[in-house]
Chains A and B, each alone.
Chain A
């Protein structure tokens, strides 16, 4: 031993190594974050790249003569049997007088969606006085025309390799030159229920289904979850039983969601004989699913209220119930609400349990209540992703964008609630 090392020497000797470790650790963290963000960016970019075009849709401007003979023969209008498709066809033929022969006409008619006839029917139903006039209307084209206009079908390919014939492409080109084709906002996507015609398919039915389901879910899981949390945190004796309950609640939060679907099928549908495919049952199942999440979040929020508040209230003579409802709950409310909103956003994105209770179904009519058959947004996405029609691919992405937008909004709401209402001690 020559010279005694001082503490300072020892520290200084190790310093470069410690600094290196620190830098390395920071760099690892930054790389991890960057990778995460890169994945997210790729995900959003492909999603928006694929789905953005679904928010517009190709429409054709046609001068449609609403002749009384064709839709109200004998002067009597019967909407169910009036030939609105015939009106559209007459208008198309007028545009292309040279088209003759049955097969050729069929090809021509296929440029327009079957929704064109329905659009005119709705128009006439709204205003009967239009009969006999000529209206200039923007009518939806068929999905194949739409795909061509959006560049998803390559017109330069051999005719046997594309769903449109040379003749049809010729008509489309001449319509385009005449300014009769235009891409406009695809309102149908938000106002229609499901459809097997991609150009008519919308997510309103699925959105309403999801909405009704979430109403049932929040109405059940929030009060029950909060009540359970208050009891467990403030009133329940701490013994083996309450430990057991606590362990089970934490376990329940980790149970795969499909299990809740099976439970819902067995209990709500088979035993209580509630209707299949109903938002009510979906909501009940999702309530079971979100309950543990809400209980855990609410208990954490209640625990975070300092004991001094309770003690002060007790000291002033408040009963335990008064302490809880007058002091603890208002202070814990932001945390509870945040938990509820996060639970709801989980419920909104959930599809597995809904498959078990019959919500994976084709439902055109927009549901108007809790027991009407309906689907939910994630299930609609699943159904569209499996459709053979090409145009559903972009609509699938569009539906995902809408679902993500709702999720972002809900999570944002959670953040805002926390920021604005949170108390700091």
Chain B
């Protein structure tokens, strides 16, 4: 091996490396839409982005899956090509986040509600069908449950579902669910647990007198092994349910929809988790999904306006749109047209209402 050639090779690669790192530091304008946010909205937003990218002369938007909280953090960091144009969220923006945004110059934010997502409690298809009430869910999964006397709290003593409610089967409570970082967990706790929690009169009264205590009671999930944090991967939960006929899993409606021959959803308060029941608002554990747009970016970033139009079009989010095929539950027609009008006019979120 010639030694001179070696030296040259080593140094030229070093020079190339250096040139690369300095050349890219000067990042100019961005010609694609940049989206961050919730992993629950991700499967829907990506479909819209892809259709938009293929059907228009613009590039396909880039969508990062960061979680709702992480998305707001990036979104609120500032205005400019380095910051995202849109953040997806499986919950509404919080007042504190609006403040952070405002502090960094992100003042005009347009809220776009895109539809609903049901959260289901499912078990293996061959197991017995389950009929739960929200009270049952709370009693089975809360860390502390109300005792015999009003105002008394005891560590959750229930071992089997029959202990919770005699009409339920006498099998051990074993529920696989998402970890606390997940938006699905937040929504489940707020809708199912809290819904069950308010059926206890003295706890409901706490909501007014001692909200912190109320939240601690209603929102804390038991940690003694009956509730298993199964990670963010819902496919994995479906597989585990197949393997264990006595286990129940908590995940989004789209996973139930895709695995209809493997798992089935429990009815909650007498309502089955079907597309129609969720769309009618009958199914109690469903939540709205959103995305938020920076108004300042709309006419600066190429394709942003087009992406908004695609998302709010009937062929996307309509009753028979392609998003409903993916498990997004559409809003009623009047609400859709109201939101679409809002998006056309780019009416920003008013800070007072939040």
Closest Cβ of chain B to A227, distance in Å, is 8
The verdict on A370 contacting chain B, using a C-beta distance below 8 Å, is: yes
B251, chain A: closest CB distance, angstroms = 9
A409 to chain B, nearest CB (A): 22
| Contact status A161-B261, CB under 8 Å | yes
Residues in B40-89 with C-beta less than 8 Å from chain A: 42-43, 45-47, 49-51, 53-57, 59-60, 62-66, 82
- The answer to whether B57 touches A385, judged by C-beta atoms less than 8 angstroms apart, is no
Contact indicator B255/A326 (Cβ below 8 Å): no
Q: A287 — nearest CB in chain B belongs to which residue?
A: B17
Contacts of A112 in B (CB 8 A): none
Q: By the criterion CB–CB under 8 Å, are B20 and A390 in contact? A: no
Determine whether the beta carbon of A329 is less than 8 Å from that of B3.
yes
Most buried by B among A118, A195, A371, A386: A386
Judged by a CB distance under 8 angstroms, whether A330 is at the interface is yes
Residues of A within 8 A of B59 (CB): 365
Closest to A226 in B: B10
Give the CA-CA distance A108 to B258 in the complex, in Å: 20
- A113 on interface, CB distance cutoff 8 Å: no
- B220-235 contact mask (Cβ, 8 Å, vs A): 1 or 0: 0000000000001111
Q: Does A280 contact B (CB under 8 A)?
A: yes
Interchain CB contact under 8 A, B27 and A280: no
- The answer to whether B53 touches A365 (Cβ under 8 A) is yes
Known: A219-B13, A223-B14. A162 touches B261 (CB 8 A): yes
Smallest beta-carbon distance A234→chain B, Å: 15
Asked if residues A106 and B1 are in contact (CB atoms below 8 Å), the reply is no
Within 8 A of A (CB), among B233-287: 233-235, 252, 254-255, 257-261
Which A residues are in CB contact (< 8 Å) with B14? Answer: 219-220, 223-224
Q: How far is the CA of A226 from the CA of B13 in the complex (A)?
A: 12
Smallest CB–CB gap between A83 and chain B, Å? 11
**Contacts A284-B21, A364-B50, A386-B235: A371 and B27 contacting too (C-beta < 8 A)?**
yes
Q: Is A45 an interface residue (CB 8 A)?
A: no
Q: Is the CB of B60 within 8 A of A363?
A: yes
Taking the complex as formed, is A187 at the interface, i.e. its CB lies under 8 A from any CB of chain B?
no
Chain B residues with CB under 8 Å of A361's CB are 62-65
Question: Does A338 sit within 8 A of B, measured CB to CB?
Answer: no
Most buried by A among B6, B66, B232, B261: B261
Beyond A216-B17, A226-B10, A273-B27, whether A160 also contacts B260 by CB under 8 A is yes
B25 part of interface (Cβ distance < 8 Å): yes
Q: How far is the CB of B59 from chain A (nearest CB, A)?
A: 6
Q: Is B178 an interface residue (CB 8 A)?
A: no
Contact of B50 among A196, A218, A274, A276 (CB under 8 A): A196
How many chain A residues touch B (Cβ–Cβ < 8 Å)?
55
Q: Does A43 contact B (CB under 8 A)?
A: no
Q: Does B24 contact A (CB under 8 A)?
A: yes
Best-buried of B11, B24, B45, B257 by chain A (most CB within 10 Å): B24
Asked whether B259 lies within 8 Å of A390 as measured between CB atoms, the reply is yes
Specify which of A154, A358, A383 lies most central, judged by the most chain B CB atoms within 10 Å of its CB. A358
Nearest residue, chain B, Cβ from A218: B13
Which of A161, A162, A197, A364 neighbours the largest number of chain B CB atoms within 10 Å of its CB? A364
Bound: A229/B33 CA distance, A: 44
| Cβ contacts under 8 Å, B47 to chain A | 196
Output the nearest chain B residue to A110 by Cβ-Cβ distance: B325
**Contact, CB under 8 Å: A223 / B11:** yes
CB nearest to B46 among chain A residues: A362
Is B7 on the interface with A (CB-CB < 8 A)? yes
Kindly state the separation between the CA atoms of A388 and B14 in the bound complex, as whole angstroms: 44
Chain A residues with CB under 8 Å of B211's CB are none
Quick check: A387 and B27 within 8 Å, CB to CB? no
Question: Is there contact, CB below 8 Å, between B320 and A106?
Answer: yes
Q: Does A80 contact B (CB under 8 A)?
A: yes
CA distance A326 to B6 in the complex (A): 10
**Residue ID in chain B nearest A373 by CB atoms:** B62
Binary per-residue interface labels of chain A (263-286) against chain B in the complex, 1 for a CB within 8 Å, 0 otherwise: 000000000111111101000100
Q: Are B42 and A393 in contact (CB under 8 A)?
A: no
Chain B residues with a Cβ under 8 A of chain A: 1, 3, 6-7, 10-11, 13-14, 16-17, 20-21, 24-25, 27, 32, 39, 42-43, 45-47, 49-51, 53-57, 59-60, 62-66, 82, 125, 232-235, 252, 254-255, 257-261, 320, 326-327
Given contacts A114-B51, A154-B261, A388-B43, 6 further A-B contacts (CB under 8 A): A196-B43, A219-B16, A273-B25, A280-B21, A358-B64, A362-B49
12 contacts between A and B (CB under 8 A): A196-B43, A196-B326, A219-B13, A275-B27, A277-B62, A325-B7, A329-B6, A360-B65, A362-B42, A364-B50, A387-B43, A388-B252
Considering the complex of A and B, which 5 residue pairs feature the smallest CB-CB distances, nearest first?
Answer: A364-B60, A219-B17, A362-B63, A223-B14, A361-B64
